Structure 1
Amino acid sequence: MIPFASIEDVIFDVSSALRVPVLILALVALALVLVELGTLAVELLRRRRHTPAALERATGAAAEALAHGDRAAAATALEAVVSGERMRSAVQRMLRQVAAPRGEQGMAKAVADFDLESLRRLERPRLLVRAGPALGLMGTLIPLSPALAGLANGDVQELTDNLRVAFSVTVLGLMTGAIAFGIALVKDRLYAQDLSDLEYIGASIEPSAPAAPAVLGQHPPAPPPAVVG
């Protein structure tokens, strides 16, 4: 039978071994959230002139170009409302589906793939929302054990050093989670706007269904006789 004291020693050793990895991961999480903040700033700059009026003008010009069979001109017209490389790729896929067999399904697939890619790009900030505070809490609790040991032994310097690390990691983790939460909210709104724009573009450039041809010798049904009161 394993003594209870030895189990406590194992848990303490594992917790102590996690101290440096947790501190490193907290710094990595902060670096990642700063990268996400930079990409968000770039995306916001790209959308400065993106307005509903610009979208209507671009889709109208693209539909007119496609009516003349000019896909290159349509792509150039829609470039004004493209927010990034992913949206540009989706628009190009949609243009290739114009007048193609099962083109409507192809356009819907392009829009759905763009939505899935947007969800994938939101995974990292959403993960940092939870990982930042979790790492901060772990970085807070791990140094408390040697800090309390230093307090018991009368070592004030060890107590001070460990508490400084614990509180610093707490602030770092909470800041990482707060920034990541704001980034996730803004990016979620931006990607939802992109999805809405793609759906509008697809509805605008999709050719109307041709009218059913008349059958030779077939006459329209006669209207019902008027009822005489």
Structure 2
Amino acid sequence: MSEDIYQRIFQVAERLELPVVILALLSLLVLIVDLGAFAVEIFQHLRRRFPRIEAAADEARSMLAEGNASGAGRLLRGQGWTPATSRALGRMGDQALSPDADAKLSKVLADFEFASQRRLGRTRLLVRSGPALGLMGTLIPLSPALAGLAQGDVTALTDNLQLAFSITVLGLLIGMVAFGLTLSRDRLYGQDFSDLEYVAAILTSQPLATRQSALEGPDDKAHMERGRVDQVTEQPSAGRSSHDPGVSSTVTP
């Protein structure tokens, strides 16, 4: 009974050899595509200039103060250095004057972060799947290789060992390159998210004069207004009291 179970396990493992090899080659193909996309992202990030982003955010806030949300959106959209940042900046400018602007800008930032994590998910999967496929590709051919060794079939032994070691190297290469790619992309996307957070904070902040006016309550404003009125009314009365001939003064010797 146990021999039958072992034989079935061996048969399943042998049938997995070709799928494992195909999956390893597909993983390598996906990694090459991601490397090309990462090279494009590096080239796009060369256009990023924070002083330009800062100036555009200040100008967009001035346009929003005038009620020109569409103009602010077009301005910010043109300052994006990648398609994802351009879309996020444009949405921020378009929605900055809405009644629930804080919630909508937070949603824009959350969507950007979710898209970044989705792009990172592929390479994070390759970091783990590459070595796993390499290990499977190593162990599966060992069984027929040992059988060939026992039977004196040197050709079968050589072919299976070559396949096992090749898949091992391929899986380790996929995992190593995918790990470096994940770290580099995580740093780039983190910088992008920080810039978008800065722009969102600038758009939702108030200018200094407006902020000081908002901090002054109605009681403070009324008190200041009464003080100015009292000063205006006291000056003429003080002048009349010092020059009016009808006012007598008593001099005590």
TM tier relative to shorter chain = 0.7 to 0.9
- Select which of 150, 154, 157 maps to 1:156: 154
Higher helix share: 2
Q: How many angstroms apart in 2 are the aligned matches of 1:179 and 1:131?
A: 12
Q: How many angstroms apart in 1 are the aligned matches of 2:88 and 2:107?
A: 9
Question: Secondary structure in 1 aligned to 2:81?
Answer: coil
Query: Corresponding residue for 1:184?
Result: 182
Query: Corresponding residue for 2:33?
Result: 35
1:8 aligns with 2:6: yes
- In structure 2, give the amino acid aligned to 1:66: L
Query: Corresponding residue for 2:110?
Result: 112
Higher relative contact order (CA 8 A, sep 6+): 1
Structure 1, residues 42-66: CA drift from partner, whole Å, max 9, x if none?
Answer: 0000011313222222222322333
* CA displacement at 1:127 relative to structure 2: 0.3
Structure 1, residues 56-97: CA drift from partner, whole Å, max 9, x if none?
Answer: 222223223333333444334334542322222222221222
Unaligned ranges ≥5, structure 1: 221-229
Structure 1, residues 84-142: CA drift from partner, whole Å, max 9, x if none?
Answer: 22222222221222121111111111111211221111111000000001001100110
- In structure 2, give the amino acid aligned to 1:134: A
Unaligned ranges ≥5, structure 2: 225-253
Aligned 8 A contact 2:74 2:90 in 1: no
TM value normalised by structure 1: 0.87
* CA displacement at 1:207 relative to structure 2: 4.7
- In structure 2, give the amino acid aligned to 1:195: F
* CA displacement at 1:213 relative to structure 2: 6.0
Aligned 8 A contact 1:59 1:204 in 2: yes
Q: How many angstroms apart in 2 are the aligned matches of 1:164 and 1:217?
A: 86
Q: How many angstroms apart in 2 are the aligned matches of 1:174 and 1:19?
A: 18
Aligned 8 A contact 1:94 1:107 in 2: yes
**127-136 or 111-120, which moves further after superposition?**
111-120
Aligned 8 A contact 2:28 2:174 in 1: yes
Aligned 8 A contact 1:136 1:173 in 2: yes
- Number of residue-to-residue matches in the alignment: 218
Identity of aligned residues (%): 47
Question: Secondary structure in 2 aligned to 1:99?
Answer: coil
- Select which of 170, 174, 178 maps to 1:172: 170
Aligned 8 A contact 1:58 1:80 in 2: no
Q: 1:78 to 1:26 in 2, by over 3 A?
A: same
**91-100 or 13-22, which moves further after superposition?**
91-100
Question: Secondary structure in 2 aligned to 1:69?
Answer: coil
- In structure 2, give the amino acid aligned to 1:130: R
- Select which of 189, 195, 199 maps to 1:197: 195
Aligned 8 A contact 2:127 2:179 in 1: yes
Question: Secondary structure in 1 aligned to 2:48?
Answer: coil
Aligned 8 A contact 1:19 1:142 in 2: yes
- In structure 1, give the amino acid aligned to 2:185: K
Question: Secondary structure in 1 aligned to 2:99?
Answer: coil
1:46 aligns with 2:50: no
- In structure 2, give the amino acid aligned to 1:107: L
Aligned 8 A contact 1:147 1:160 in 2: yes
Aligned 8 A contact 1:99 1:207 in 2: no
Aligned 8 A contact 1:136 1:172 in 2: yes
Q: Tell me the C-alpha RMSD between the 2 structures.
A: 2.0
TM value normalised by structure 2: 0.80
